[in-house]
Amino acid sequence: MHESGCFVLPNPWDIGTAIYLEHLGFEALATTSAGFAFSRGKRDGGVPRDEMLAHIREIVEATTLPVNADFLAGYADQPEDVANNVRLCVSTGVAGLSIEDSTGRTDKPLYEKKLGIDRIRAARSAIDASGSGIVLTGRCEAWLVHDSDPFNTALDRLVAYAEAGADCVYAPAVSKPDEIAQIVKTVAPKHVNVLVSGFNHQLSLSQLADLGVRRISVGSGLALAAWGTFLRAAKDIKTNGTFHLLANGAVSADLNKLFQETS
């Protein structure tokens, strides 16, 4: 799927949304750490490893489509521990997984470059040893952690992650077309994923394809869209005592029919 063209990798956060996205005709899916965390009443990054692995397996088993796992930073700092956790993720049946370089710490929000490279290399070795052939995506979180020079930091690291064995690279929140095009050109022949969300929603599938992007994900975008509708409707009921926004909801009969057909 990565070899030519450009495809959208939407992100369900539970079984029902995974089933519906397959029903619409998407070719592949990806989990969303934030979308799932919010559904569990937790912050993004607050879901423990084993709970996340169970969720990933649940999504894989809910659909016939290939599933990419948002595996955060691999639930470990050191490369050997990342490798162990990657092996657990591979065992869920995913077709791909991503490893990011965000530490979750405010003092040093990104892993040191060498450690970041070693972590990707360890993930690559674990995947190769499994014989699964799944796609490894290396992520640089420079924009999300407000790096002082996010473009150059991301470009430098994505090249290094590609050389360390990532099949696909990804810098969430890159939004300028010229920067996206430069990343695509510099990491070639490795593939580039671009996140489309609120900050760069103006870029269309065809525009990103023209820039050489192979894969588009929406991260927590669909989950946040659902949350947005829920919040507005709930606040309207509480504040105004009116129920007008409920009129825009999905039709339960349609969902009953869909899930009856897939059960």
What average pLDDT does range 4-24 have in this prediction?
A: 97
pLDDT at 103 over 90: yes
Q: How far apart are CA 110 and CA 102, in angstroms?
A: 5
Predicted pLDDT at 261: 86
Domain locations along the chain: 7-220
User: Which whole-number Å values give the CA distances from 192 to 41, 140, 212, in the listed order?
Assistant: 32, 12, 8
Helix (H) or strand (E) holding 23: helix 15-24
* CATH code, residues 7-220: 3.20.20.60
Residue whose entry in the numeric block shows the structure tokens 């790096």 = 147
CB-based burial, 26-35: b 16+ in 10 Å, e otherwise: bebbbbbbbb
Tens of pLDDT along 106-161? 999 999 999 999 999 999 999 999 999 999 999 999 999 999 999 999 999 999 99
Q: How far apart are CA 242 and CA 237, in angstroms?
A: 5
Q: In the structure encoding, which two tokens stand for residue 102, read together?
A: 């965000």
Give percent of the chain with pLDDT exceeding 70. 99
Q: Got the DSSP string for 173-237?
A: T---HHHHHHHHHHHTTSEEEEE-SGGGTT--HHHHHHTT--EEE-TTHHHHHHHHHHHHHHHHH
Give the confidence band of 3 by pLDDT, cuts at 50, 70, 90: confident
Give the confidence band of 200 by pLDDT, cuts at 50, 70, 90: low
Q: In the structure encoding, which two tokens stand for residue 44, read together?
A: 């993004």
Predicted pLDDT at 199: 65
